[in-house]
């Protein structure tokens, strides 16, 4: 294992220290319990947005703390959900009196810990509602599993719901926007390599030199099936097709196309995937009116990518275009 | 009744449970690596070490011990096991008022199971720790109804939990992260039901059964 770390036990703490030092103008990092809040938190009268989950997906979630997106992020150990108390402390720290929305990726540990934290907040008189993001079409039959996982669509939920909170929507309205994004977004990912969790020291699964895993999540867990390595266009088809089959957008629908890198993929390759994915969507009669390409929700150093399609309406488009100023995502400011 | 379970039992139980979980740390990691994300052994080890460090003379009774276990697991374990075991011990603590006769032992196990089901929304047959706790409660209830001592009730529960954990091997997981593997989850023992069996076995041993 070759990694730029000092001690596997200190990875999260040292990451947060560096993050605080680099972005002190935008965020404040609290240690023990660990959470990150925007520098001007709590914003009086504004709905607070809190997300979190295992570390190892950077820039998600701490990179999206700031004006127009999240009020707080709660990082757990690498690929392990945070416990309820830091989530609860973060919730208290960003409650500006208008209630707090928890944005949770649908993984069992994340859901249980956020639910418990919400109960703790409720006992303190803070109103908490939650959106559980589940955009991953790789998980097919939700009655036989813990349900679709929350993956790259989470970034879009955080941006668009964050803009709704920033413009002054109340808690129910922000939740409604978040639910609308979640209902209209689908993702599918592929891994060319596994990744190595620092304290495990060995790759999370074995993948042959000429094999790729289709339908992976974001925690280095195996996916839907394994196929031989293939040209980018062919792999892209296998990501786009299940999305379109599930989302079934009407011809003429305006969409946001998001090609996300898993951490170890050159940006050039992401644009090769984007190029073909866009052509596929246009051939299906869709209008790609907004795009995002880059490493926004990663799986440590995994090579691979995910494709995400969000069927837009006027409100979601306007909120997507609204100004945002965070360490990892800034536009219109 | 002199064979009711007291503070000394609760302290002995939790301390020996920590030692057992430490001993089986790699086994739990390997079970979890096969069908989950491989952190169960590490998380339980970290959690129970933190629990034992908090056990001291100021704790007045069984209920106090279980409360310390609950809050410490909740704040140190993470993943799914933290809130599930944390809730189980919190509910068990509420049911464990004073020293425990057979009736209260059963009530404690019933409360723990209720907490796990409420938090995790799983039922039997889904390859989760519910598949160990459910037969444990059934066996404990039957033992209590036949007049067994508190220790014998715990032994019945522990043996049933161990059998329940073994019975998860042929199951296909439909809850938790293992569910994403679908049929590939068949043939592996569920890590959560395995750690449950270890915990209940130590509870019975600490009672002398």
What local confidence, expressed as pLDDT, does residue A199 receive? 77
State the Cα–Cα distance between residues B91 and B98, nearest whole angstrom. 15
Give the whole-angstrom CA distance, residue B173 versus residue B181: 8
Torsion over CA of B94, B100, B102 and B107, rounded to 10 degrees?
0
Instruction: Flag whether residue B38 sits within 8 Å of chain A, measured between CB atoms.
Output: yes
Q: How far is B192 from chain A (nearest CA, A)?
A: 13
Residue B4 has pLDDT above 70, yes or no: yes
B176 touches chain A (CB under 8 A): yes
Collect all residues with Cβ–Cβ distance below 8 Å to A56 and sequence separation of at least 6: A78, A79, A195, A197, A219, A298, A299, A300
The answer to whether the CB of A150 falls within 8 A of the CB of A132 is: yes
Tokens matching residue B129: 């720790």
Predicted confidence band of residue B42 (pLDDT cuts 50, 70, 90):
confident
A253: Cβ contacts below 8 Å, ≥ 6 apart: A286, A287, A311, A312
Q: Is the pLDDT of residue B5 over 70?
A: yes
How far are the Cα atoms of A9, A315, B80, B108, B128 from residue B116, in angstroms, in the given order? 30, 41, 11, 13, 10
- Cα angle, residue B181 at apex, residues A55 and B164 outer, rounded to 5°: 100
CB A283 within 8 A of CB A154: no
Q: What is the pairing mode between strands A304-311 and A254-261?
A: antiparallel
CB-CB under 8 Å, A112 with B174: no
pLDDT of residue B78: 81
Phi, psi angle pair for A286, to nearest 5°: -95, 155
Q: Does A145 touch chain B (CB under 8 A)?
A: yes
pLDDT at A144: 61
Does residue B192 sit at the A interface (CB-CB below 8 Å)?
A: no
Could you give the domains of chain B?
7-206 (1.25.40.340)
**Looking at beta carbons, which residues of chain A come within 8 Å of B181?**
222
By the CB < 8 Å criterion, does A8 face chain B?
no
Element (H, E) at A157: helix A153-166
CA distance B162 to B139: 12
Contacts of A112 in chain B (CB under 8 A): 80, 82-84, 119-120
Contact flag A113-B75 (C-beta cutoff 8 Å): no
**pLDDT beneath 70, residues of chain A:** 140-144, 220-222
Is A52 near chain B, with CB under 8 Å? no
Rounded Cα distance, A119 and B183, in Å = 35
Mean predicted confidence (pLDDT) in B154-179: 93
More confident residue, A57 or B34: A57
Q: Is A53 on the interface with B (CB under 8 A)?
A: no
Q: What is the pLDDT of residue A79?
A: 87
Q: Which of A108, A189, A223 to mutate to test the interface with B (most CBs of B within 10 A)?
A: A108
Rounded Cα distance, B72 and B140, in Å:
27
Question: What's the maximum distance between 2 C-alpha atoms anywhere in chain B?
Answer: 50
Using a CB-CB cut-off of 8 Å, the residues of chain A touching B82 are: 81, 83-84, 109, 112-113
Higher pLDDT, B55 or B182: B55
- pLDDT score at A138: 87
Contact A85 B75 (CB under 8 A): yes
pTM recorded for the entire structure: 0.85
Residue closest to A33 by CA, chosen among A90, A81, A80: A90
CB of A79 less than 8 A from some CB of B: yes
Answer yes or no: are the C-beta atoms of A67 and A38 closer than 8 Å: yes
Provide, as residue numbers in chain A, all residues whose Cβ is less than 8 Å from the Cβ of B179: 144-146
**B135–A contact, CB cutoff 8 A:** no
pLDDT of residue A143: 55
Residues of A carrying an active site annotation: 57, 219
Q: Give the closest of B74, B176, B184 to A84, CB-based.
A: B74
CA A2 to the chain's CA centroid: 26
Nearest chain B CA: its distance from A54 CA (Å) = 9
* Cβ count near A289 (within 10 Å): 13
**Nearest chain B CA: its distance from A166 CA (Å):** 31
Which two tokens mark A57?
Answer: 């997906």
Return the structure tokens found at B188.
Answer: 């592996």
**Average pLDDT over every residue of B3-22:** 96
Are the C-beta atoms of residues B168 and B127 closer than 8 Å to each other?
Answer: yes
Structure tokens at A156: 């879009």
Strands (DSSP E) found in chain A:
27-30, 35-38, 48-55, 72-78, 100-105, 128-133, 185-191, 211-214, 225-228, 254-261, 287-294, 304-311, 324-325, 330-331
Distance from CA of A112 to the nearest CA of B (A): 6
If we measure between CA atoms, which residue out of A95, A155, A106 comes closest to residue A132? A106
DSSP line for B80-132? THHHHHHHHHHHHHHH--SSB-HHHHHHHHHHHHHHHHHHH---TTSSSTHHH
pLDDT at residue B144 in the model = 97
Facing A109 at nearest CB: one of B78, B172, B181: B78
pLDDT for the residue A130 = 98
- Kindly report the number of other CB atoms within 10 A of residue A203's CB atom: 15
Cβ-based contacts under 8 A for chains A and B: 86
For B79, which of A109, A220, A221 is closest by C-beta distance? A109
**Which chain A residues are Cβ-neighbours of B51 within 8 angstroms?**
none
Contact A118, A102 (CB under 8 A): yes
Question: Sign of dihedral through CA atoms B145, B148, B150, B152?
Answer: negative
pLDDT score for A202: 76
Helix (H) or strand (E) holding A88: helix A84-94
Q: Please state the separation of Cα A311 from the chain's center in Å.
A: 17
Q: Out of A112, A146, A221, whose CB is closest to B84? A: A112
Q: Which residues of B touch A83 (CB under 8 A)?
A: 74-78, 82
- The answer to whether B26 contacts chain A (CB < 8 Å) is no
Distance from CA of A145 to the nearest CA of B (A): 4
Cα nearest neighbour of B39 on chain A: A80
CB-based contact, A144 to chain B, within 8 Å: yes
Rounded to the nearest angstrom, the minimum Cα separation between B149 and chain A is 35
Tokens (6 digits) for B26: 């790699």
Per-residue pLDDT at A141 = 55
Q: Are B131 and B164 in contact (CB under 8 A)?
A: yes
Q: How many CA atoms lie within 13 A of B28 on its CB side?
A: 23
Q: Are A218 and A189 in contact (CB under 8 A)?
A: yes
Walk me through the domains of chain A, giving residue ranges and CATH numbers.
13-184 (3.40.50.10440), 185-311 (3.30.1180.20)
- Which pLDDT value is given to residue A220? 66
């Amino acid at each position: 294992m070759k990694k730029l770390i000092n001690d596997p036990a200190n990875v999260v703490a040292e990451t947060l220290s560096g993050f605080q030092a680099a972005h002190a103008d935008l965020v404040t990092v609290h240690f023990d319990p660990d959470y990150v809040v925007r520098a001007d938190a709590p914003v009086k009268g504004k709905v607070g947005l809190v997300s979190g989950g295992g570390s190892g997906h950077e820039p998600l979630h701490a990179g999206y703390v700031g004006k127009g997106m999240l009020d707080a992020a709660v990082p757990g150990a690498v690929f392990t959900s945070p416990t309820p108390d830091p989530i609860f402390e973060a919730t208290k720290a960003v409650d500006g009196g208008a209630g707090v929305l928890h944005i949770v990726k649908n993984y069992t540990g994340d859901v249980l810990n956020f639910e418990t934290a919400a109960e703790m907040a409720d006992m303190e008189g803070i109103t908490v509602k939650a959106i559980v993001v589940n955009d991953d079409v790789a998980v097919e039959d939700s009655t036989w599993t813990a349900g679709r996982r929350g993956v790259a669509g989470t970034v879009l939920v955080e941006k668009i719901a964050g803009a709704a909170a920033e413009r002054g929507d109340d808690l129910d309205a922000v939740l409604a926007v978040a639910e609308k994004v979640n209902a209209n977004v689908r993702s599918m990912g592929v891994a060319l390599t596994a990744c190595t969790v620092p304290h495990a020291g060995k790759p999370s699964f074995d993948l042959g030199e000429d094999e790729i895993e289709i339908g992976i999540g974001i925690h280095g867990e195996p996916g839907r099936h394994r196929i031989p390595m293939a040209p980018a266009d062919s792999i892209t088809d296998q990501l786009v097709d299940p999305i379109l089959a599930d989302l079934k957008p009407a011809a003429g629908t305006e969409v946001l196309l998001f090609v996300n890198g898993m951490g170890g993929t050159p940006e050039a390759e992401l644009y090769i995937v984007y190029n073909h994915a866009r052509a596929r969507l246009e051939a299906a009669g869709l209008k790609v009116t907004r795009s995002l390409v880059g490493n926004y929700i990663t799986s440590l150093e995994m090579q691979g990518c995910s494709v995400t399609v969000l069927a837009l309406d006027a409100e979601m488009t306007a909120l997507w275009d609204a100004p945002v100023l965070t360490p990892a995502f800034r536009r219109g400011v | 009744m002199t064979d009711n379970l007291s503070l000394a039992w609760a302290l002995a139980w939790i301390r020996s449970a920590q030692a057992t979980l430490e001993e089986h740390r790699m086994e739990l990691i390997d079970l979890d690596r096969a069908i989950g994300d491989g952190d169960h052994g590490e998380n339980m080890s970290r959690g129970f070490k933190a629990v034992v460090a908090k056990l001291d003379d100021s704790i007045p009774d069984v209920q106090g011990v279980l409360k310390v276990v609950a809050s410490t697991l909740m704040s140190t374990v993470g993943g799914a096991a933290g809130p599930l075991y944390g809730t189980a011990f919190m509910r068990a603590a509420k049911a464990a008022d004073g020293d425990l006769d057979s009736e209260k032992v059963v009530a404690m196990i019933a409360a723990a199971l209720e907490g796990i089901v409420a938090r995790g929304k799983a039922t039997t047959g889904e390859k989760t720790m519910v598949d160990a706790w459910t037969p444990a409660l059934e066996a404990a209830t039957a033992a209590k109804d036949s007049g067994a001592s508190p220790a014998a009730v715990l032994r019945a529960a522990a043996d049933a939990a161990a059998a329940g954990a073994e019975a998860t091997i042929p199951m296909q997981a439909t809850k938790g992260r293992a569910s994403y593997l679908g049929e590939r989850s068949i043939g592996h023992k569920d890590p959560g039901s395995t750690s449950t069996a270890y915990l209940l076995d130590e509870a019975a041993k600490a009672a002398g059964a």
